[in-house]
Structure 1
Amino acid sequence: MTLGACSALPDKPLRAVQYDFGPGTTTALATASLPPLALADVEAPGLSDGGTAVVYRLGYADAQQLRPYTQARWSVPPAQLVGQRLRDVLGQRRAVLGAGDSAALARTSGPAPRLVRLELQEFTQVFQSPTASTGLVRLRATLLENTPLGDSLLAQRSFSVQRPAPSADAPGGVRALAAATDALAQELDAWLETAGR
């Protein structure tokens, strides 16, 4: 009788699964060969107020509507995830400082490193059909130089990268967004090497 009563109790609510981009590079980093950069925190003014929901769009039905997966969350807001991955990739060939660190360095050792400001404009899984989707990451990068009169614009570029999702669900979208972010980081790294010359 007691066992029968226990089975009538409601199940514990399911907790949302948390995702990140994985461990990143696990190999030793090469010696910095390029001038240092200061990387400001990634801004994401239009992305769901810093929320952690994994979101998608139905490109074949209503592409303007962002929809959250109910049981999938990022471990931190996407802007932080993207910023950390960009730091990891850019830091493989140069020292990467925070925006505040670069100002302190300039006071003690000469000119400040160039500053990169980043705005994350899109970070979603986009379904082209009920069974096919891609991870889409769009980002605008602005390269600035610190001068006695303030920051001077050297270059600006928008990046847009898509990678196919291996499955039409949240885990597939997460993998696609991680792959798209990695590809974008490589493009940004190559652009920064030549921008502002």
Structure 2
Amino acid sequence: MLDTQRTHPGRPVRRSAALACAAAAVLLTACSALPGPPTRAVQYDFGPGAMATAPSDRRAPLPPLALADVEATGMPESSTSVLYRLGYADAQQPRPYATARWSQPPAVLVGQRVREHLGLRRAILNTSDAAVQARVANKRPTVLRLELEEFSQVFSSATESAGLVRLRATVAEPTPLGENLLGQRVFIVQRAAATADAAGGTRALAEAASQAARDIDEWLEQVAVR
């Protein structure tokens, strides 16, 4: 009997090489079918805020104001999703951007911006600070409460959108028998987005929040929070 390995020395080698190539091809196909690493979401906030000391205001400072934590009545309080609405298709459905997030919940960011602006002419206290001051000065400062009802990028078409902020502000004066309502108002501010994406929407929402803070400041002086 002939020794096939010695008579045909190349056949076993070629067969082994073919099997190795086939196994490699199967492995490459399996690897290509595996999902890639998840894309990390980009985080946005309202920017660095004031970067220089504001010029001194010669007007008399306003009395302290207690600012409660902003409530997010229109969205989950802990959510950091950047929301948008397709006003031309289904405005009732808020949709989150898949690869964009706020660095903190919008209610926290809005509260920081309002506090920063109102603090230019008055001391802004937390509600807990107000209680401490009441024990010291026997007078509790006026309280401002804010409810964030809407905070989203609304598309009027596929290429045009605006940042929409809707805030409900309530001002009350503490009394020994409870709180005396001084006023309540809903502030609605829109700012056009420069681009039809998350980057444009977050910039527009930051601008709208800043304008809402300025509007609230003017309104507070009208309702005698002086």
TM-score bin, normalised by smaller chain: over 0.9
Counterparts of residues 1-197 of structure 1 (less than 5 Å): 8=32, 11-29=36-54, 30=56, 33-196=61-224
Deviation at 1:191, TM superposition (A): 0.6
2: distance between equivalents of 1:64 and 1:42? Answer: 23
Of Structure 1 and Structure 2, the greater strand share is in 1
Q: Does 1 or 2 have the higher relative contact order (CA < 8 Å, sep 6+)? A: 1
The TM-score with structure 1 as length reference comes to 0.93
Runs (5+) with no aligned partner, structure 2: 1-27
Which is greater in Rg? 2
Matched residue count: 195
Question: 1:48 is paired with a residue of what secondary structure?
Answer: coil
1:163 maps to amino acid: R
- RMSD value, Cα: 2.0
1:23 maps to amino acid: P
- Identical pairs, percent: 59
1: distance between equivalents of 2:139 and 2:82? Answer: 41
Of Structure 1 and Structure 2, the greater helix share is in 2
Question: Quick check: 1:143–1:196 contact (8 Å CA) kept in 2?
Answer: no
1: distance between equivalents of 2:47 and 2:123? Answer: 22
CA shift digits 1:26-61 (9 cap, x unpaired): 121446711110000000122134310000000000
Deviation at 1:25, TM superposition (A): 1.0
